[in-house]
Amino acid sequence: MSIKRKQIEDFNTVSATPSTDLASTGDTTVGHNAGETVAIMQSVYLKSDGEWWLTDANAVATADGMLAIALEAGTDTNPLKVALPNSFIRDDSWAWTVGGRIYLSGTAGALTQTAPNATNDVVRIVGHATHADRMYFNPEQTIVIHA
């Protein structure tokens, strides 16, 4: 019995370098509305009401579940375009340390390379820096609550 390897043409290749600022490569969706005012490049989670709300490492309910990154500004009850997990995302205002982990922040909608460390903060890795202004967005499914 022989096993044939898939040819490289059978795999989807995603560029690690979005061509413009405030953009992504990979899957996106506009299938859900914003649940509040969201700025471009903010981190959001899909709340039980089916809308995107800002993440916050200070509250388990806002740091768990499905995450995305807003690719446009949005307002309550209007469709919001987001980058889904396994995307490369670029924001020229970022200044990441390449190779470092990126976490949800205790500031609503923000990301940080410093793990939250206050009591009851959620420590959730959401990706890794691939360049000073780019990240690979791939949220961990396990969350840790800081004691």
pLDDT at 147: 84
User: Which pLDDT does position 1 carry in this prediction?
Assistant: 45
| pTM of the predicted model as reported, rounded to 2 decimal places | 0.91
CA distance 48 to 95: 33
* Interval 89-132: pLDDT, tens: 999 999 999 999 999 999 999 999 999 999 999 999 999 999 99
Average pLDDT, the chain: 93
Find the farthest-apart pair of alpha carbons in the chain and give their distance in angstroms, rounded.
58
pLDDT digits 0-9 by tens, 29-83? 999 999 999 999 999 999 999 999 999 999 999 999 999 999 999 999 999 999 9
Strand bridging mode 67-70 / 87-90: unpaired
Query: Quick check: helix, strand or coil at residue 63?
Result: helix
